[in-house]
Amino acid sequence: MTPTTPTATADKTAPGPVPGLLKLPAHIARWATLAGATGVLLSTFLAWTWTAAFPGNLTVDLYPGGLQVLALTGALLTLLFALSAQGVRGLGWLTPGGKHSPVLLLALGTAATTLYSVAAIAQKLGGLVNLEPGGWIAGIASVVLLVGALGLPADTPGDAVRPPTSPHQRLLHSFKAPTPERGPVLPSWAEILIIAAVVGAGLEVFAYGISTPYGELFIGYLLTTGFALAAITRSGLNRRLSAVTARHRNVTVAAAFIAAFIFPLTQTSEAYATLGAYILIFATVALGLNVVVGLAGLLDLGYVAFLGVGAYAAALVSGSPYSTLDVQFPFWAAVLTGIGASLVFGVVIGAPTLRLRGDYLAIVTLGFGEIFRIAMQNMDGTSGPNVTNGPNGIPNIPDLEILGFNLGEEHTILGFELGRFSNYYLLMLIFTGIVVLVFRRSDQSRIGRAWVAIREDETAARAMGINAFRLKLMAFALGATLAGMAGTVQAHVTFTVTPTQYKFVEVVPPNSAFLLAAVILGGMGTVSGPLIGAALLYLIPEKLEFMAEYQLLLFGIALVLLMRFRPEGLVADRRKQLEFHDTGQLDVPKAGLTKAGV
């Protein structure tokens, strides 16, 4: 009997390379990916259609425009990552370990953007006959790119036990988290330059998205940026950047706020500053809800009511001719009035309800949100006391004036013209900074750690001596206060306050459903997550007005897909990543459990 050598055993059990979704030879898949990306890249310098009736003017050779710019960007990134995965000198830092899943994600995004562009041209102009040679080359090259990328070998983590067999398992295996790599340690000045470059790139990407003039371009923008960010995450570059920003946290925060301050100065239209102001209002309220849901774990479905309390309180003391109080407070007094009213309502509503948990608390807060809206609608002097003018609300709210600086007038600062919405954008940026500071201080404090303990297991937290009710009431009151502060600015930005602005769900945010979605999709318990989630959820309905009938349907589909592939949110903290993904430990063989008697 010949004994089995360790080498032979290792050869039989060692996992081989995991094939891609399409069973192609590795070298053919790589070359097809490179050829497809190159073809899409070159096609953007040719005309895609013969008429300028399709937005973006895709009729000019050697000058990409509109959707061609997005296809060019996606193809260029795909080429860089594909060459990196093949070991090209100087690009290895993009895909450490020769990973192919970032290439697959970028190829999917590039192909989706290009094929969508071809389909949009055919649908708008009346058939594929309206394509010029550049459009045909783009469509064919994107199909070649997609086939080649799906045939690339999947990433093989170091802890893999056996390769998957079914196509569905192979596709999911491509996106399994590999063993994290450590990047090179750079000098401090170089890391600060990297932070500045990343923040500048983020500002450029955000400004491009907010200034897209038509819906087709915005859809292509979402496809390109979404897959590109996913590829960066899969490549591990985000972990390296996180390590750099953690070492220079103050520099990162300062750079982010400087970039946000520069945004209105870079816009040529006041309409984009308008979107920026509304996004900051929505994002600030979402960050306040993150205190309640993300830190304390209290499911609040009526949070938008606190925004309404602050807005109505500020409107009543704003000096509006339709206000029943007939008073006009200065700016700081109006803000304190809105904050105080929201704080009182938060304590009054939270005191009797926070002894409930889970679904019961969610139903009670949902009821409070509807009670607030109906109460504001009935205080018209007929169905109730004359306080809020009922369904008509409080219109003609005057603009704020701070130290003689009227925010409703145009001003010139450092040679830049700032209109009304640019002024309110900068004011909301200050309020957002205050909310971020409060959130970060609360999260890192003893109270913040107690909130997290209550969120994870309230029974265990009580057993450790934590006064759960008092701390939950503090979180509820703090979240209400932050929402009320944003509401005071919203009342002046919108000129009017009506009950219909504070429904539970509506196509146009802010409302309780979209606020909660912004927190969950962005990443609970983080600072940047709700800000990003709120920006996306506000921009999408604004930019896709031509799909108004299907917006909620598409929103539901996006929720399902994101919860399936990234349940921890777009920006997740370490705890959520460990909760929703594998820990990287080996599976225990069933034979061992059987022998142990389990």
Structural domain spans, the chain = 17-237, 269-543
Measuring CA to CA, how many Å separate 575 from each of 452, 466, 571, 578, 579?
11, 21, 12, 5, 6
DSSP 66-135: THHHHHHHHHHHHHHHHHHHTT-TT-TTTSTT---HHHHHHHHHHHHHHHHHHHHHHHHHTSGGGB-HHH
Residue with tokens 């050779």: 61
**H-helix or E-strand spanning residue 401:** strand 401-402
Region of poorest pLDDT, from 197-201, 323-327, 484-488: 323-327
- Record the pTM: 0.81
Q: What are phi and psi of 154, to 5 degrees?
A: -75, 155
CATH of 269-543, one of 1.10.1390, 1.10.3470, 1.20.144, 1.10.10: 1.10.3470
Q: Is the pLDDT of residue 317 over 50?
A: yes
Q: What pLDDT is recorded for position 181?
A: 47
Q: Is the pLDDT of residue 20 over 90?
A: no
Q: For residue 380, what are the β-bridge partners? A: 386
Report the pLDDT averaged over residues 419-428.
88
- Lowest model confidence (mean pLDDT) among 259-263, 277-281, 502-506, 571-575: 571-575
- The Cα 38–Cα 152 span in angstroms is 17
pLDDT at 535 over 50: yes
Q: Which residues pair with 328 in a beta bridge?
A: 318
| CB of 431 closer than 8 Å to CB of 490 | no
Angle at 477 between CA 323 and CA 563, to 5 degrees: 105
Ranking 117-121, 246-250, 558-562 by mean pLDDT, the lowest is 558-562
Tell me how far apart the alpha carbons of residues 345 and 484 are, in angstroms, rounded to a whole number.
10
Answer yes or no: is pLDDT of 10 > 60: no
Mean pLDDT of 265-271: 77
Name the pLDDT band for 166 (thresholds 50, 70, 90).
low
Computed over every residue of the chain, the mean pLDDT equals 83
Nearest in space to 319 (alpha carbons), one of 336, 334, 337: 334
Q: Which one has a higher pLDDT value, 594 or 329?
A: 329
**Which tens digits make up the pLDDT trace of 465-495?**
889 899 999 999 999 999 999 999 999 998 8
Distance CA 31, CA 72 (A): 19
Residue, of 277 and 155, whose pLDDT is higher: 277
**Alpha-carbon separation of residue 461 from 361, 443, 477 (angstroms):** 19, 17, 20
Paired residues of 386 in beta bridges: 380
200-217: average pLDDT: 89
Written as six digits, the tokens of 417 are 């013209």
pLDDT of residue 97: 60
The top-scoring range by mean pLDDT among 107-121, 425-439, 537-551 is 107-121
Tell me: pLDDT of 7 over 80: no
Separation of alpha carbons 63 and 47, rounded Å: 9
Distance CA 39, CA 35 (A): 6
Task: Quickly state the pLDDT bin for 147 (edges 50, 70, 90).
Answer: very high
**d(Cα 223, Cα 70) in Å, to the nearest integer?**
9
* Neighbouring C-beta atoms of residue 254, cutoff 10 Å: 13
Q: What is the pLDDT of residue 536?
A: 86
CA dist 265 and 415 (Å) reads 10
For 503-510, the CB contacts below 8 A with 24+ separation are 503/304, 503/373, 504/301, 504/302, 504/304, 504/366, 504/369, 504/370, 507/541, 507/548, 507/551, 507/552, 508/541, 509/282, 509/534, 509/537, 509/538, 509/541, 510/281, 510/282, 510/285, 510/304, 510/307, 510/538
CA distance to 180, 279, 370, 418, per residue, from 285 (Å)? 34, 10, 18, 25
Q: State the pairing for strand pair 405-406/411-413.
A: unpaired
pLDDT at 142: 95
Provide the pLDDT for residue 44: 95
Tell me: pLDDT of 111 over 60: yes
Q: Give the pLDDT mean for 240-247.
A: 86
First to last CA, the chain: 33
Calculate mean pLDDT across residues 335-361: 89
Which pLDDT score is estimated for 578? 63
pLDDT value at residue 590: 45
- Say what the pLDDT of residue 312 is: 93
Residue bearing the bigger pLDDT, 144 or 389: 144
Mean pLDDT value of segment 355-376: 87
pLDDT bracket for residue 178 (50, 70, 90)? very low
With a pLDDT cut of 70, the percent of the chain lying above it is 86
Q: Which of 307, 302, 284, 425 is nearest to 365 (CA)?
A: 302
Q: Choose between 172 and 541: higher pLDDT.
A: 541
pLDDT at 505 over 50: yes
Backbone angles phi, psi at 70, to 5 degrees: -70, -40
> Which of these ranges, 142-156, 179-193, 325-339, 458-472, has the smallest mean pLDDT?
179-193
pLDDT above 50: residue 239: yes
Query: What is the mean predicted confidence (pLDDT) over 387-415?
Result: 84
At 326, the pLDDT band (50, 70, 90 cuts) reads confident
Alpha-carbon distance 598 to 582, whole Å? Answer: 23
Of 315, 188, 284, residue with least CA distance to 479: 284
Residues 6+ apart with CB under 8 A from 441: none
How large is the average pLDDT for residues 326-353? Answer: 90
- Alpha carbon distance 579, 570 (integer Å): 15
